[in-house]
């Protein structure tokens, strides 16, 4: 589906004949190489954005406002975008969940992860004017036309898609009941507190609860034990959960089967996913003719990267499908579920699949 961002439609000039001609006679990569030397935002196809403002969102998170070029195709609130930055000469890609703003810009809020390459770069080093590449938006945690009442569960940076959904619902007059439960370790790690409280004050159908796991209440209000009696008609709710892998797993365990629908997206692997088979296997890369030894306890993506091979990827969490690759033979283990799969000539997502036996991949 092509989602047209209304402001882009207004701001973007119609394709000019030189661009149409260029598309016929040179490759997009070659055109981009020369055109970006004249103006860094001129590309034939690649969506790029310029960083136009930054502000502190919490003690360890910043909000960056990005103004995309005309190739950005827009997004639905709740979706994510793979963002590319260049760090020490290497392009690194990570996913973020933007809030689309009225003027066509996107606001991403990035929590700095200890030792994190891209989050550290965006939170501390990115400067106004920097260019950031964007890929097509993805993700299914969006609002259907008519929806059940919602229960939104967010932990840490999992609040970002919820913020986009709530702003969109507020713009439509909050047509349904929504309860947001938002976990952080401490008060100074909460983002958008004033904005969320103001939305709740303006819309009686919206209830917002902040839950702090390292401050205040005893025992800690964890998602697997926190009382949910205050949520009216829980069984009829559609639940959307977003946050670290362990949080999403615990939320699913608690609520799956007890509510009308349960949808979740994890921003990081649950700790248990890392533990797995031991030893190494041989992985043959059919296209490049290389054969490498990879560890059974690691995702194929991480294992290949450790060998200096750079497969295409985006979210690294099995959501965007960018890393999907043909498996000609062998068995892989899905890291999120533990399921084994050995059907020949099928697709595997390298970021959430670990090798169980020797493999042949279409790489």
Ligand X SMILES: Cc1cc2nc3c(=O)[nH]c(=O)nc-3n(C[C@H](O)[C@H](O)[C@H](O)COP(=O)(O)OP(=O)(O)OC[C@H]3O[C@@H](n4cnc5c(N)ncnc54)[C@H](O)[C@@H]3O)c2cc1C
Where on the chain is the footprint of ligand FES (CB under 6 A)? 313-316, 318-323, 349, 351
Short-list 84, 150, 73, 168, CA closest to 122? 84
Give the sheet arrangement for strand 359-361, strand by strand.
Answer: 290-295, 280-285, 359-361, 324-329, 346-349
Minimum distance of ligand FES from residue 178's CB (angstroms): 28
Tokens 């932990």, located at residue? 155
Residue 314 contacts which entry, ligand FES, ligand X, none (Cβ below 5-8 A, type-dependent)? ligand FES
Nearer to ligand X, 111 or 349 (CB): 111
Question: 318 is in the binding site of which of ligand FES, ligand X, none (Cβ under 5 to 8 A by kind)?
Answer: ligand FES
| Strand ranges, E, within 97-237 | 99-100, 106-111, 131-134, 150-155, 178-184, 206-212
CB 282 within 8 Å of CB 291: yes
Cβ proximity to ligand X, 46 vs 119, nearer residue: 119
Could you say which of ligand X, ligand FES, none residue 349 binds, taking C-beta under 5 to 8 angstroms by partner kind?
Answer: ligand FES
Say which residue the tokens 């979210």 belong to.
315
Looking at the DSSP bridge assignments, the partners of residue 178 are 150, 206
Q: Which two tokens stand for residue 172?
A: 């439509």
Cβ closer to ligand X: 113 or 324?
113
Q: How far is the CB of 318 from ligand X (least distance, A)?
A: 8
Minimum distance of ligand FES from residue 191's CB (angstroms)? 24
Q: How far is the CB of 335 from ligand FES (least distance, A)?
A: 11
Tokens representing 210 are 């902040």
Nearer to ligand FES, 244 or 318 (CB): 318
Give the interface with ligand X as residue ranges (CB under 6 A).
80, 94-97, 108-111, 113, 115-120, 157, 160, 244, 265, 267-268, 315, 317, 319
């Amino acid at each position: 589906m092509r989602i047209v961002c209304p402001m882009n439609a207004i701001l973007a000039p119609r394709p000019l004949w030189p661009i149409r001609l260029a598309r016929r006679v040179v490759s997009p990569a070659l055109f981009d190489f020369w055109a970006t030397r004249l103006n860094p935002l001129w590309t034939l196809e690649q969506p790029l954005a310029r960083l136009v403002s930054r502000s502190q969102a919490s003690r360890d998170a910043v909000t960056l406002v990005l103004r995309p070029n005309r190739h950005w195709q827009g997004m639905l609130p709740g979706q994510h975008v793979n963002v590319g930055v260049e760090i020490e000469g290497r392009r690194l890609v990570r996913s973020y969940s933007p809030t689309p703003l009225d003027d066509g810009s996107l606001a991403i809020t990035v929590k700095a992860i200890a030792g994190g390459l891209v989050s550290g770069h965006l939170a501390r080093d990115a400067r106004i004017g920097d260019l950031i590449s964007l890929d097509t938006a993805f993700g299914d945690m969006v609002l259907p036309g008519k929806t059940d009442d919602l229960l939104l569960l967010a932990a840490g940076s999992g609040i970002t898609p919820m913020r986009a959904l709530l702003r969109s619902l507020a713009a439509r007059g909050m047509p349904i009941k929504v309860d947001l439960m938002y976990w952080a370790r401490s008060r100074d790690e909460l983002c958008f507190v004033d904005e969320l409280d103001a939305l709740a004050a303006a819309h009686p159908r919206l209830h917002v609860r902040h839950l702090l796991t390292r401050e205040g209440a005893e025992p800690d209000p964890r998602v697997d034990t926190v009382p949910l009696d205050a949520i009216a008609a829980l069984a009829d709710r559609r639940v959307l959960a977003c946050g670290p892998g362990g949080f999403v797993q615990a939320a699913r365990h608690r609520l799956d089967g007890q509510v009308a629908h349960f949808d979740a997206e994890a921003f990081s692997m649950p700790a248990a996913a890392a533990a797995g088979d031991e030893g190494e296997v041989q992985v043959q890369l059919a296209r490049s003719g290389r054969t490498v030894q990879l560890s059974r306890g690691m995702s194929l993506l991480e294992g290949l990267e450790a060998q200096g091979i750079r497969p295409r990827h985006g979210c690294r969490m099995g959501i965007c499908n960018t890393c999907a690759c043909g498996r000609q033979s062998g068995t892989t283990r899905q890291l999120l579920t533990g399921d084994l799969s050995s059907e020949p000539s099928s697709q595997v997502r390298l970021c959430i699949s670990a090798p169980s036996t020797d493999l042949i991949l279409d790489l």
